[in-house]
Structure 1
Amino acid sequence: MKTNFLQKILNTSLAKIILGLITCLATVRLGQFIIQNLLFTNASKDLKALISGLFVSALAIITYQYLYKFYEKREITELSKKGIVKNIAIGAGLGAILQSLTILTIFLSGGYKVVSINPIQFVMPPLIMAFTSAIIEEILLRGIIFRITEEKLGTYAAMAISAALFGAMHLANPHSSVIAGIGLAIQAGLLLAAAYIYTRNLWFPIAIHFAWNFTQSAIFGANVSGNSISKTLITSKITGPEWLTGGLFGPEGSIQATLFCFVATIVLLILSHKQGKVIPPRRRKRDEPLTATPDETGQVIGAELNQ
């Protein structure tokens, strides 16, 4: 009886989310500790950050794959290598375009000025930050929270929940505010979930997330979610009203960033609807067998969890 009860608990959506978050975060923290305190102690700050970023990103991916392959007894198709080049290329292009449009709006208003062009190696710190945060945050937010919630509550409820969590996570950032949090919930929370829905693959939202942050900081020299980067390719000066520039929080806090990303979200959702990739809330009777509907990539996207 105790074994059956424990199995039922472990098979709930909440348990899968909590255990997944704890396991992945613990692995990442352990990886950071090993690199920073046990290995490469004599390396330069930038080199140590690069090695740490690569190491913990790989750990996050491997941990997620093995955990849910064992836990859910399935192939992890959301990290499949099939179509990975296409997903990364299109995602990176979309993220860079959306960020460039955001900065262009500030430039056209006279609020963006280039102070200096720096050596190419200055892109390394923001590059490390961008790919590390993109991989880890997408695995946690889209791979675990959104994916598992969607199986139980449907696409739109999962989008709302994961977007709200993403926005709330950034409220503690420097120079943040409720308005900035809402903007990030729409820009990243909704857009990146829509990107996952459209491809049923994590590489697409990872690429968008990476390119958005990298372009914003490394290329345009702007703050990212309230955090400034000491070394960037372009040293810039951004001035103007906070609703247009985002103020010290960065261009993510601007109205145009939210609008551009929201438009992209709507387009991806329309395409997903046409391809039948939007999942409605599912309920089953107590005696009804579990069913699942595989999408075109072979991933089970409509599997019900034990209640």
Structure 2
Amino acid sequence: MSKKSIGQKILHFPLTKIIIGISVVISVFSFSKSFLSGVFQTDLLAKDVIHLIITIISSILSVVAYIYLYKFYERREITEFSTHGIGKNLALGILLGVLAQSLTILVIYVMGGYSVVSINPFLYIIPPLAMAFSSAIFEEILFRGIIFRITEEKLGSYIALVISALIFGGLHLANPNSSLSAGIGLAIQAGLLLGAAYIYARNLWFPIAIHFAWNFTQTAIFGASVSGNAISKTLITSKISGADWFTGGPFGPEGSIQATFFGLLAAIILLILSHKKGHIIKPYWKTIAANKV
């Protein structure tokens, strides 16, 4: 068996694979959005509809870029985007995302902090739909498809889960109205949950569906801010008031204690099920030690 050259070792080093993957996906997503914004210069469609179309196309191109990059780079079948069982994974993910967000808002409602101000035209769901669609696909490719998956290959499921969750929560500290507690909460409720969802399903469709349903339900349906960002148009205009610990304050319901609790609970359940299914990957040093025995 021929030894790899230094260049090949560097090219296939995990950190190199992560940097290249992130660079390619971000470049494709950003360029396609910029290019399509120049192409779709028309008065025939509303701006919100045009933005939705551009977002969908750019997100799909990001998936295509990921598939072809790693199919060539790692010389393997891209099973994380396999269509096998896609309906089940999307349906289960949407159900889990809607349930977790609804329970989060329910706590605020029971505490007297949530009320409906008005119900808006149905087309007001388009801006939050575009946001939820792009953030779910784009972020899951970056954080679960690239950072978590490649880190897991060497360090194992649990260490990779903690690392990717901390990175996910840490990057959200730069969001408007964010705080250390909000970043920690997102690391737990989203970073751990979505990573656990990937481990359980061994594909990206499941965490993408959870991420999409969580964001869409939070903004379009309940009219709340998502990760510190307020959406101008939502199906329901709501008023959320009360202590930050159960409302999330200006950051939105994701900054609440119950959101963190429900996300952590779901993550623990998925990890237990993943362990039973044999989906937990051990660190490379434990695998080597086991093979020597």
- Per the alignment, residue 40 of structure 1 pairs with 40
Q: Which letter does structure 1 place at the counterpart of 2:40?
A: F
Per-residue CA deviations over 1:152-202 (Å, capped at 9, x if unaligned) read 000111001100110011111110001000000001100000000001010
> Matched residue of 1:228: which SS?
coil
Alignment root-mean-square deviation, CA: 1.4
TM-score normalised by length of structure 1: 0.90
| Distance in 1 between residues matched to 2:271 and 2:8, nearest whole Å | 35
The ranges of structure 1 where at least 4 consecutive aligned residues each deviate by more than 4 angstroms after the TM superposition are: none
Match of 1:297 in 2: none
1:18 aligns with 2:19: yes
Retained in 1: the 8 A contact 2:227–2:254?
A: yes
SS class of match (1:170): helix
Spell out, residue by residue over 1:98-131, the C-alpha distance to the aligned partner (whole angstroms, 9 max, x if none): 0000000000000000001111111010011001
For residues 243 and 36 of structure 2, what CA distance do their matches in structure 1 show?
A: 42
- After superposition, the C-alpha distances for 1:21-72 in whole angstroms (9 at most, x for unaligned) are 0011111111011012x20123532122112111110111000000000000
Quick one: which of 264, 267, 270 aligns to 1:265? 267
**How does 1:208-247 map onto structure 2 within 5 Å?**
208-247=210-249
Q: Distance in 2 between matches of 1:170 and 1:35?
A: 27
3-state SS, counterpart of residue 118 of structure 2: strand
1:41-56 pair list within 5 angstroms:
41-43=41-43, 44-56=46-58
* Residue number in structure 2 paired with 1:303: none
Q: Which runs of 5+ in 2 are unaligned?
A: none
Give the corresponding residue for 1:4.
Answer: 5
Q: Does the 8 Å CA contact 1:35/1:51 hold for their aligned counterparts?
A: no
> Conserved in 1, the CA contact under 8 Å of 2:49 and 2:126?
no
SS of 1:237's partner is strand
- Letter matched to residue 141 of structure 2: I
Corresponding residue for 1:69?
71
Give the structure 1 partner of residue 108 of structure 2.
106
Measure, in 2, the Cα distance between the counterparts of 1:275 and 1:165.
Answer: 27
Letter paired with 1:42: T
Query: What CA distance in whole angstroms lies between the structure 2 residues aligned with 1:229 and 1:90?
Result: 26
Partners in 2 of 1:73 and 1:158 — Cα distance?
A: 22
Give the share of equivalent positions with the same residue, in percent.
Answer: 62
Structure 1 residues 128-207: aligned runs within 5 Å: 128-207=130-209
Cα deviation code 1:232-283 (max 9, x no counterpart): 1110000000001000100000000000110000000000111111111113
Q: Which has the higher helix share?
A: 2
> How many Å separate the matches in 1 of 2:286 and 2:70?
23
Q: Output the CA distance in 1 between the equivalents of 2:217 and 2:31.
A: 29
**3-state SS of 1:192 partner:** helix
Structure 1: gaps of 5 or more residues: 292-307
Tell whether 2:78 aligns with 1:80.
no
Residue 222 of structure 1: SS of its match in structure 2? coil
For the 8 Å contact 1:95–1:211, the answer to whether it is kept is yes
Q: 2 CA distance for matches of 1:163 and 1:45?
A: 35
Q: Is the 8 A contact 1:35 1:48 kept in 2?
A: no
My pick for the range that moved more, 273-282 or 203-212, is 273-282
Alignment correspondent of 1:298:
none
Q: Quote the Cα distance in structure 1 between the aligned partners of 2:6 and 2:236.
A: 58
Contact 2:80–2:203 (8 Å) recurs in 1: yes
State the shift of 1:284 in Å: 8.4
- Using the alignment, how far apart are the partners of 2:284 and 2:265 within structure 1? 28
Measure, in 1, the Cα distance between the counterparts of 2:286 and 2:223: 52
Aligned residues of 2:200 and 2:270 also touching (Cα < 8 A): yes
TM-score, length of structure 2 as denominator length: 0.95
**Partners of 2:129 and 2:116 in 1: how far apart?**
20
In structure 2, the partner of 1:300 is none
Q: Distance in 2 between matches of 1:46 and 1:284?
A: 52
Question: How many residues matched?
Answer: 284
Letter of the structure 2 residue corresponding to residue 80 of structure 1: S
Instruction: State the SS of the aligned residue for 1:81.
Output: coil
